[in-house]
Amino acid sequence: MRNKVTKAVFPVAGLGTRFLPATKSVPKEIMTLVDRPLVQYAIDEARAAGIKEFIFITSRGKSALEDYFDQSPILEQELRKKGKLDILEDLKSTNMESGAIAYMRQHKALGLGHAVWCARRLIGDEPFAVMLPDDVISAEKPCLQQMVEAYEETGGNMVAAMEVPYDKASSYGILDVKDDMGAMVSVKGMVEKPNVEDAPSNLAVIGRYILDPAVLRNLNKKQTGAGGEIQLTDAIAQEIDATGVYGYRFRGQRFDCGSKAGFLQATVAFGLARDDLKDDLRGFLDSVMQIENAAE
């Protein structure tokens, strides 16, 4: 019987330089998308997939992120006193049980592979998920839950995958596909940020992974790859012939909230999906477009 995936690693040590000056004092991961920070979307998705242990790889200046998941007794007391029970219920969803969450420091920015490697002692010899909060995915069934269900059939290693324009391939890890089975592909190679002419496909890896602990042993070698960093993609690729690697075409829409344009697009999309916001927001967007059209 295959081990269940109950642990997830959240690499959140980045400086968020693309969002300066906002991220000078506010960690990017708690920047607000509608009314929840980016990291809350990742946590909710992980919980839906059966994750019980949450491991955050942090760095200096991330104390606000840790505080976010702590309880706030005075605030909860005030909400209860004022009868704002619906808001209180929403607030409770941000609390984490004692022992469910752990924080590990990445002291040097040596790449995503190094960040995941920092969690090795907490992972042990179990399969685990990796989630990048920058990638926010709108889906009827949460993306990681889709992947966990598929993983129960395949085992090995699984990465979330989506088609991207070929001229954007150099921004992603790209899969070299062996067999295409529709939602699932088996992988014969992985290339991190290839030149456009060298990309084996346009099927890109995005920020959701389910990994065999053998990947951590590969990361132990501290081998550097693209950009002089320790690449997670390279460590996964070493498992193609051993434990197997699969790409999973998830059902949903991915927003790159690590970019300003992606963050704005997600804000609009998630706002329009809210019954309490969509009418006002749609009316505003229509008026903006009318002004734009008139100006042309």
pLDDT by residue (tens digit) across 2-59?
678 999 999 988 877 888 888 888 888 888 999 899 999 999 999 999 999 999 998 8
- Give the best-scoring range by mean pLDDT among 58-72, 119-133, 180-194: 119-133
What confidence tier does 74 reach under pLDDT thresholds 50, 70, 90?
confident
Structural domain contains residue 251: yes
Give percent of the chain with pLDDT exceeding 70: 97
pLDDT by residue (tens digit) across 187-220?
998 888 888 888 888 899 999 999 999 999 998 8
Structural domain contains residue 270: no
Strands 135-138 and 253-256 turn out to be antiparallel
* Residue 177, pLDDT score: 87
* Residue 204, pLDDT score: 92
How far apart, in Å, are the Cα atoms of 100 and each of 47, 54, 64, 120, 212? 11, 6, 18, 16, 21
Q: Please state, rounded to an integer, the average pLDDT across all residues of the chain.
A: 88
* 149, two tokens: 């269900």
Average pLDDT of span 253-262: 93
Structural domain contains residue 196: yes
* Residue 57, pLDDT score: 92
* Residue 227, pLDDT score: 66
Q: Do 232 and 113 contact (CB within 8 A), yes or no?
A: yes
Number of domains in the chain: 1
For residue 92, pLDDT beyond 80:
no
pLDDT by residue (tens digit) across 264-274?
999 999 999 99
Report how many helices (DSSP H) and strands (DSSP E) the chain contains, helices first.
Answer: 11, 13
* Residue 127, pLDDT score: 94
Instruction: Please name the residues in contact with 235: beta carbons below 8 A apart, sequence gap of 6 or more.
Output: 113, 215, 216, 218, 219
* Residue 148, pLDDT score: 95
* 152, two tokens: 């129960």
Query: Who has greater pLDDT, 259 or 15?
Result: 259
Structural domain contains residue 93: yes
For residue 296, pLDDT beyond 80:
no
* Residue 133, pLDDT score: 93
The reported pTM is: 0.88
* CATH value at residue 118: 3.90.550.10
Q: Do 87 and 36 contact (CB within 8 A), yes or no?
A: no
Structural domain contains residue 33: yes
Q: Do 176 and 189 contact (CB within 8 A), yes or no?
A: yes
Structural domain contains residue 81: yes
For residue 226, pLDDT beyond 70:
no
Query: Who has greater pLDDT, 166 or 254?
Result: 254
How many CB atoms lie under 10 A from the CB of residue 169? 23
* Residue 294, pLDDT score: 80
Structural domain span for residue 32 = 7-258
Structural domain contains residue 292: no
Average pLDDT of span 240-252: 91
Structural domain contains residue 277: no
Query: Who has greater pLDDT, 145 or 85?
Result: 145
Spell out the SS3 assignment of 147-204: HHHHHHHHCCEEEEEEECCHHHHHHCEEEEEEEECCCEEEEEEEEECCCHHHCCCCEE
